[in-house]
Amino acid sequence: MLREVWPFVQVKYDAGQEVVLARLVDRDGLGARPLGATMAIAEDGTWRGSVSGGCVEGIVLDAARAVLDGAEPQVATVSPTAHLMPWEETPACAGELRVLLTRAPDAPVRAAIASALADDRLLAVRIELEPPYSWSVTTTAAWPPSGDGSPVFVEELRPRSTLVLVGATDLAATMARMVESLHRRAVILDPRPEHVTSGAFPATCEVVRAWPDQWIAGNRLRAEDAVVTLTHDPRIDDRAIRAALESEAGHVAALGSRTTHARRLRRLAGTPGLNRLSGPAGLDLGGASLAETALSILAEVVAVGNARSGQRLREVNTQIRVMAPASCSGAAVS
């Protein structure tokens, strides 16, 4: 997706380099990556992203470098079977992929994309799939069809989900660093001045000195958002839990041992929505370090957000997220 590669695109353009974007706009079979998956290839040969998870990236890189060298932009058809010998086994995702290869958009569209991503605003980005492969943007997803019926691809850049971490602790700092790669917004709340001024937190997260219940009451949380309490201090955590359970947050969890959680449930008995509280927070990974604990808690956040159990894939029959065929004309992805 554009969000995944855009920091790389921005850095390269700021350094005076041209960038070609290779975007998956259609396929006729299963695949490991969704429509809209993007690679960004810069003049210096460096690149980020993928369109297939590894099957055709070498082919795409060659085609992208040709565009950088002056070849015309195109919608190329590539297949994981292109370089297989007759006796080699065909991969499961063997369908043909249609990949748009074109230079990154001009400055006005680039600036609009960068601004929307930075400010967490909805933006629909449209590119025509016929020459000259023009880019355009709008702040609404309700984009009218093209007047001449020509194929287009539309990607909706939606605001990130928010992960509210209650407690400006070392674990919160570790989780905040991990959250960035999950394309979630991290907000750390703590009323204690010496905690919020520790300097331990990455610049990409928001650290707020506030009682969590007051902040939650003044900031609307959505179903895709999550709240996790980390302080071990009931005076702070309990207020946060009550407020979070009253909100629309889809996941509310609390750190602590089973004994601590049992005491917490007794204190909060009668609180509306208490059955939504997940505790102890996290999945059973057996970790003890800060990073392993952070991974356990974030893994549960992701599993709940995707309505999954968090079990090992070998032990469940749910479908792995392999994308089925879809049309790119007028498609919208996140």
pLDDT for the residue numbered 187: 98
Give strand pairing partners of 47. Answer: 41
Rounded to whole angstroms, how far apart are CA atoms 283 and 334?
A: 27
pLDDT for the residue numbered 316: 86
pLDDT for the residue numbered 164: 98
The model scores a pTM over 0.75:
yes
**Domain spans of the chain?**
2-159, 162-313
Determine the Cα angle at 79 with ends 31 and 129, to 5°: 80
In contact, 234 and 260? CB cutoff 8 Å? no
CATH class for domain 162-313? Answer: alpha beta
**Mean pLDDT per 10-residue section of the chain, whose length is 334 residues:** 94 96 88 88 96 86 96 90 54 76 96 94 94 90 60 92 97 96 95 94 95 97 97 96 98 96 97 96 93 97 93 84 43 40
